[in-house]
Amino acid sequence: MSTRTDDDVWDVSSGPGLTAVMVAFARANETDSDDPLIRDPYARLLVDNADVGAWAAMLDPGMVAKMKATSAQTAAIIDHLSNYQVVRTHFFDRCTIDAMADGIRQVVILAAGLDSRAYRLDWPAGAVVYEVDQPGVLAYKSSTLAANGVSPLANRREVAADLRHDWPTALRDKGFDPTAATIWLAEGLLAYLTADAQDQLLGHIDALSAPGSWIGVETAAKHDRNRREDMWGPSKAMFGQLGFEPTEDLSALVYAGHERAVVTEWLDEHGWQATAQHSPDVMRRHGRWVDDVPLADDRDAFADFVIAHRQLSA
């Protein structure tokens, strides 16, 4: 059961915005590791300055070590979640870089959260990066980085809009050119949308995409409430052991995925050429799969990473 409502809003201290801080925490820890798969020099800054209330305890390396010590299963879950975020970041970084090499100069990051690609990737001349998200999330990121002397390396344009509503108008108002090839990134997004909202989002992307455009999208995993509890139940029990009382159930922020359109099929039916890579396969390729993670035997419990291309006109 989701705790979401049709018109809920958030910043980095609540709702999906809070999960953006958790993802940045994974990027920061990876960057500080001995042999990082990705490097995000600004993730730690964005995490340390975020007001997340009681959830700050989960951003303390000491607390993370205590959590992992509670049980082997909890340790496996923590390692899996961290590895997943790192591998996902690497995958969509590579997708963006490849699109730039293909000549694309217009980028739209949907539900940009605390993504710092506009600040850390090596952008070609003329690249314009549109970041679409809730106003409070975008304002926190840009103000925090600016206050610490960090400037974007591309022409970054904030689009403060709700992706469940008329965000295409807001995007155009910021200068988006629907006649130019675009790469769209939808990473960590679809699970936070209903099935109808997912279809609407893909429809907007399709309508705004010129020939030669790319899409990189993470699908929503499919597992019912009982199986989801297999994943999150141990974590909730562990919170009680450590005396931590979370202010929000993060697992309840996502919507069930069984009734959704299959992203690759939807895109293929609308004139795109889509391919999917199952996220556990990508994790194994990078040596980041955790064998003991719950639901490891359930293929539907893990997302796909999809890349699609719209062919150039004949």
The reported pLDDT for the residue numbered 314 is 43
Mark the ranges of the chain whose per-residue pLDDT is less than 50: 1-2, 314
Amino acid, res. 280: P
Q: How many structural domains is the chain composed of? A: 1
Residue 1 maps to a domain? no
CB proximity list for 173: less than 8 A, separation 6 or greater = none
Q: Which domain holds residue 107?
A: 15-310
Q: What is d(CA 2, CA 178) in angstroms, rounded to the nearest whole number? A: 34
Q: What is d(CA 255, CA 221) in angstroms, rounded to the nearest whole number? A: 10
The reported pLDDT for the residue numbered 255 is 80
CATH of the domain at 123: 3.40.50.150
The reported pLDDT for the residue numbered 107 is 98
The reported pLDDT for the residue numbered 299 is 87
For residues 37-52, b (16+ Cβ closer than 10 Å) or e, as one string?
bbebebbbbbbebbeb
The reported pLDDT for the residue numbered 75 is 87
Residue 5 maps to a domain? no
CA 254 to chain centre: 13
Report which of 194, 149, 180, 167 is spatially closest to residue 41, judged by C-alpha positions: 149
pTM (predicted TM-score): 0.92
Residue 249 maps to a domain? yes
The reported pLDDT for the residue numbered 231 is 55
Report which of 308, 294, 297, 226 is spatially closest to residue 263, judged by C-alpha positions: 308
Residue 287 maps to a domain? yes
The reported pLDDT for the residue numbered 269 is 97
Bridge partner list, 215: 184, 308
pLDDT (tens digit per residue) in 55-108: 777 788 888 888 888 888 888 888 999 999 999 999 999 999 999 999 999 999
Half-sphere exposure for 267 (CA within 13 Å, toward CB): 24
Residue 198 maps to a domain? yes
The reported pLDDT for the residue numbered 159 is 98
Cβ atoms of 234 and 77 within 8 Å: the answer is yes
Q: What is d(CA 150, CA 265) in angstroms, rounded to the nearest whole number? A: 41
